[in-house]
Amino acid sequence: MQRPEAFAILRGLMKRQKVLVLYLADSALDSNVIAWAQYDGTAKSEHMAGDAEEPPYASGLAALRDGWRLLQIAPLQAHAPGSEFTTSYLKYECLFEQWVDVDG
């Protein structure tokens, strides 16, 4: 038998994920953020590429200190000989998450 009050309690405990992707200047977590993307599963705010002049954090370390959890950091890969100065993708990517309470 399902109890309506149990569902009301669970709705009050709902959480949603926020994701922050920071691209750093180099492999050190305290290096400068050069690009970023934000995704808000709470639907409280919408972000688009280029919607802010300044990154949400100056470094990956600053995001950690503000409570973001580091999920993944890009592995270091050696450059192929002769391609040290070739530009392509941003290789120092860090993926962070936060879980936030939302109203049911």
Torsion sign, CA atoms 45, 93, 34, 31: positive
Asked if 103 and 15 touch (Cβ cutoff 8 Å), the reply is: no
| Owning domain of residue 23 | 9-77+87-101
When pLDDT is averaged across residues 7-25 and rounded to a whole number, the result is 80
Residue 42 within any structural domain of the chain: yes
pTM of the model: 0.76
The answer to whether residue 46 scores a pLDDT higher than 60 is yes
Whether residue 70 is predicted with pLDDT greater than 60 in this model: the reply is yes
Percent over 90 (pLDDT), the chain: 45
37 part of a folded domain: yes
In a domain, 62, yes or no: yes
Tell me if 65 is assigned to some domain: yes
Instruction: Identify whether 82 is part of a domain.
Output: no
56 domain residue, yes or no? yes
Domain assignment present for residue 2? The answer is no
Domain assignment present for 47: yes
Tokens of 65: 């200190």
Kindly state the average pLDDT of the residues 50-69. 93
Domain count of the fold of the chain? 1
